Amino acid sequence: MTTEITDLSLDLIEFILSHLPIPTLIQASTVCKLWHTIISSSSFSSNHKHKHKPWFFLHGIHNISSKNNQSFAFDPSSNSWFLLPTPQQPLHYPNNTSFIGTSSFFFITAPNFLYTPIINPLVWYSTPPLNFPRINPLLGVFNDDCSFKFIVVGGVRFIGNLVDIEDRLDVEIYDPLLGSWDLAPPLPADFRSGNSSSSLSSALFKGKFYVFGIYSCFVSSFDLKLCVWSDVKIVRPIGVVFSFMIACRERLILAGVCNSPSGSSFNLWEVDEKSMDFYEIGVMPHDLLCSLFDGDEDDKFASLKCVGLGDLIYVFNEDYHRMYPACVCEIRNGKCYWRRVPQLPSLMNKFHKVVSFCSNVSLHSILGEGQHHGLH
């Protein structure tokens, strides 16, 4: 079929490969050793055309039997769901311990602090326990010079099996080079920590960790270098019922349900990170919103969640019985393009709880040599 004349140069092959979605590239890495080296290199991951299209993860937890836990991931570039290996339950941990997913890792935050990569969850790594072990905190993973660090904000104090809602817990930052948790001032008092992850949304943007009250519309940002919180401001477009703050590629976005005389809608606003001024950039098509949430009850949007990164924002109905219908908005050249996410496969087990989040997926982390995943 082919002769030497059609043999493409390595540069051209690499350029072709950079257009493929990650699952195809994982398959392509088995073509030959050279391709494996190219595809798993960090420069290939940096040039990958889909690197700003984060995946959407749904990790289902069965309260009684951890064997029924499942990890689903949606790749927007191949428009397909994948059933990922589920992390093994760490020894001595009851199944419904505080379990969080965020950029690249699953975490267990109490009584000890453990993490495992979301794509290859083979081993749980541990850090020393938090100074104040807690459940349901806000958690972020950020790069600082050469390594990455964890920041833990808010949450509910975990003491043995009791839960203490009164404390405002210090912010804690894990530095892998020191191997310890540093303390920093807690979330401003205007926020009521309580069930942090249910009433607060967080976003890492331009060196700051933003915390936003989903119902209160309060916002404050923690400067990761100076370790101080900004003044608390309010970002509340007219008619907003509740909203989420999301760090997209170059923009801070507010996404939420809005009531107007003509009905409810789901809107997106771009927020200026300095002034906190905002202006609308898009509205979800009405029929798409109806396909995710039907019914006429006042609280039909109670199960609406929204996560996002890079160029994408995912909006979904955290409703097991509807099989978590979702849609995704791609922001391209300042415009919003909405589409439905395909249905989850019905081989879904029964779950009591779902951990849902968005994360970039890096081939280099999955395939790269020395998959050390630990921070050292």
Partner 1 sequence: MAEEKSQASSSKMLTLKASDGVLFEVELNIAKEMKTVQAYIDDCEDIETIPIPNVLGKHLAIVIEYIKKTNEEYDAEFEKQWNMDDLQLLLLAANYLNISGLQECLCKAIAKRIENKSPEYVRKVFNIENDHSPEEEAKLRKEYKWAFEGVDKD
209, two tokens: 């960790």
Does position 207 interact with partner 1 (CB under 8 A)? The reply is no
**Taking the CB of residue 347, how many other CB atoms lie within 10 A of it?**
8
Does position 360 interact with partner 1 (CB under 8 A)? The reply is no
Residue type, 58: L
Burial label, 48 (beta-carbon count in 10 A; 0-12, 13-18, 19+): buried
- What residues between 122 and 151 interact with partner 1 by CB under 8 A? none
C-alpha angle 77/78/79, rounded to 5°?
Answer: 90
Report the phi/psi class of residue 342: left, alpha or beta, with left for phi > 0 and alpha for psi in -120 to 50: beta
- Using the rule CB under 8 A, give the single segment among 21-29, 165-173, 177-185, 246-254 that binds partner 1: 21-29
Which CA distances in Å does 144 have to 99, 175, 196, 365? 24, 9, 25, 17
Identified binder of partner 1 from the candidate list 55, 56, 81, 210, rule CB under 8 A: 81
Identified binder of partner 1 from the candidate list 30, 42, 43, 143, rule CB under 8 A: 30
| Smallest distance, partner 1 to C-beta of residue 85, A | 7
Does position 333 interact with partner 1 (CB under 8 A)? The reply is no
Q: How many Å is the Cα radius of gyration of the chain?
A: 21
Strands 138-144 and 134-135: unpaired
Identified binder of partner 1 from the candidate list 166, 287, 346, 376, rule CB under 8 A: 346
| Smallest distance, partner 1 to C-beta of residue 344, A | 8
- Using the rule CB under 8 A, give the single segment among 16-24, 132-140, 194-202, 253-261 that binds partner 1: 16-24
Identified binder of partner 1 from the candidate list 297, 334, 347, 370, rule CB under 8 A: 347
| Smallest distance, partner 1 to C-beta of residue 335, A | 15
Give the contacts of 323 (CB within 8 A, at least 6 positions apart). Answer: 343, 344, 346, 348
Identified binder of partner 1 from the candidate list 42, 46, 65, 80, rule CB under 8 A: 80
Residue type, 212: F
Which CA distances in Å does 66 have to 36, 107, 161? 34, 16, 20
Identified binder of partner 1 from the candidate list 231, 345, 350, 374, rule CB under 8 A: 345
Give the contacts of 277 (CB within 8 A, at least 6 positions apart). Answer: 271
Does position 10 interact with partner 1 (CB under 8 A)? The reply is no
| Smallest distance, partner 1 to C-beta of residue 22, A | 8
Does position 31 interact with partner 1 (CB under 8 A)? The reply is yes
Interface positions with partner 1 (CB under 8 A)? 1-2, 5-9, 12-13, 15-24, 26-33, 35-36, 72, 78, 80-85, 120, 342-347, 366
